[in-house]
Amino acid sequence: MDVKPFRGLRYSTGAGALRDLVAPPYDVIDAAERQRLAAQSPYNIVRVDLPDDGYSQAAARLKQWIDAGILGREARPAFYAYRQTYRGPSGEALVRWGLTGMVRLAAYGEGVVYPHERTLAKPREDRLQLLRATRTHLSPVFGLHFGAAQPLDDLLASACQGPPAMAVDDRDGVEHRMWVLDDPDVVAAVQAALAPARIVIADGHHRYETALAFRDEERERLARASGAAAADAAGAAADAAANYVLMVLVDLASRGLSVFATHRILRGTSDLTADELLRRLAGAFSLKPVETAGRDAAAALLSGLEGLGPDPGFGVYTGKGRGWVARLTDREAWHKATVGKPDAWRALDVAVLHGLALPLGAGLDVAAQGSGVYLAYTRDAAEAVAAVDRGEGLAAFLLRPTPAEAVRDIALAGHVMPQKSTYFYPKLLTGLVMAQLDTPVGL
């Protein structure tokens, strides 16, 4: 891995309270949330990162903020240590360290950066248009690194003894703190620790692939301008910022890394009854009833899933307090359906649900369109159960979180995971630090 410090672009103290300026990642912001964020300040980052008046206006707005001193660039190249303190799934206090820097772009096949999910053309084009207009990485890709020479958490914690340069708490109660690391010895230590590491993208696949496309466009532009071959032009500008992407790197083995499950609600099934769904599932799964009377049905089902151990499975809720834990029993059918898939993929609860249970039980291929049967998604198990009780779905499927190690193993095997297999928490804030592409990176 080649990771370099850069002269970060960040809000000045005169821009206002940081909590009014930053935002979650663009792809988790709906229209109402965007309106709320934009109303907080005329300088909230959504006005550039998620513009409602076009890409050229976003670029003009960003330039205006820089010219007015709302945003200013760091005097020297630096890394940015990013600490997030939050409550984990069991209520325990957790700390997650990340290193914000510019990571040299590598195609997926080069053995440095690996995806774990597929991307869609429309979001890629949206982010590319914005990057072309602003020539700025506005929000970081979230990368999980593994194979480092030493634990990065320890290195960052020891380097961040003084007060942070940026501090803000979000609406979920997550504490976001960031330190500027511009000491050459610290920079060198970070680079040495990360040199042998590799990366699995946690969040930001569209932004990463956009950065790759933009890099290639820049190489072609330089080649045309100089009359040289694209490869020669790229070599002459090896440290050009367009060859890098803004990324926050988190240790995949960090205790502070949380991956939440995303639960499913089955909708559009007017010709299917709950009893018929269960009958079909019983052909490949054992269905153990879960006693929910007088208990929170979601909590009871999640507790029941703990008994699955290493066997793949999921919880099924069909309303009126009726719930089951489904355990895969027909392994022969599952192996036939997953020829060529690695064992880590076959062991995923979400893979079994999408690859066998839903086609078998509801005739639903989630990769197909237009069947009328579809899934809704929620991170809240109680909400999934409540939706079924309200008549807003035939059944809810509750899942265990996907282990981070499985994300790595599947990515290294050259495969991607089913849709919405992971929900990494907490999310990274947009607007703490940005990276302009008009100057080289590095010291």
- DSSP annotation of 28 reads G
3-class SS letters over 6-27: ECCEEECHHHCCHHHCCECCHH
The SS3 assignment for 355 reads: helix
The range of the structural domain enclosing residue 252 comes to: 3-258+425-436
Whether 173 and 232 share a structural domain: yes
Whether 268 and 242 share a structural domain: no
Separation between Cα atoms, residue 81 and residue 162, nearest integer Å: 12
| Residue 420 located in a structural domain | no
The tally of domains found in the chain comes to 2
| Residue 153 located in a structural domain | yes
pLDDT at 294: 64
Q: Is 403 exposed, middle or buried (0-12, 13-18, 19+ CB in 10 A)?
A: middle
Whether 241 and 295 share a structural domain: no
| Residue 418 located in a structural domain | no
| Residue 442 located in a structural domain | no
Percent of the chain with pLDDT over 90: 84
Whether 177 and 269 share a structural domain: no
Asked if residues 7 and 439 have their Cβ atoms less than 8 Å apart, the reply is yes
Whether 232 and 329 share a structural domain: no
CATH code for the domain of 295: 3.30.1760
Whether 43 and 96 share a structural domain: yes
What residues in the chain have per-residue pLDDT under 50?
236
State both tokens at 392.
């807003």
For 271-311, write each residue's pLDDT tens digit.
899 999 999 999 999 999 998 876 799 999 999 999 999 99
Question: Among candidates 256, 249, 258, which has minimal Cα distance to 112?
Answer: 249
Whether 250 and 323 share a structural domain: no
Question: Among candidates 371, 421, 422, 376, which has minimal Cα distance to 395?
Answer: 376
| Residue 417 located in a structural domain | no
Whether 148 and 234 share a structural domain: yes
Whether 68 and 157 share a structural domain: yes
| Residue 252 located in a structural domain | yes
Asked if residues 7 and 438 have their Cβ atoms less than 8 Å apart, the reply is no
| Residue 317 located in a structural domain | yes
Whether 365 and 241 share a structural domain: no
pLDDT at 270: 78
pLDDT at 226: 74
Whether 241 and 302 share a structural domain: no
| Residue 378 located in a structural domain | yes
Whether 238 and 333 share a structural domain: no
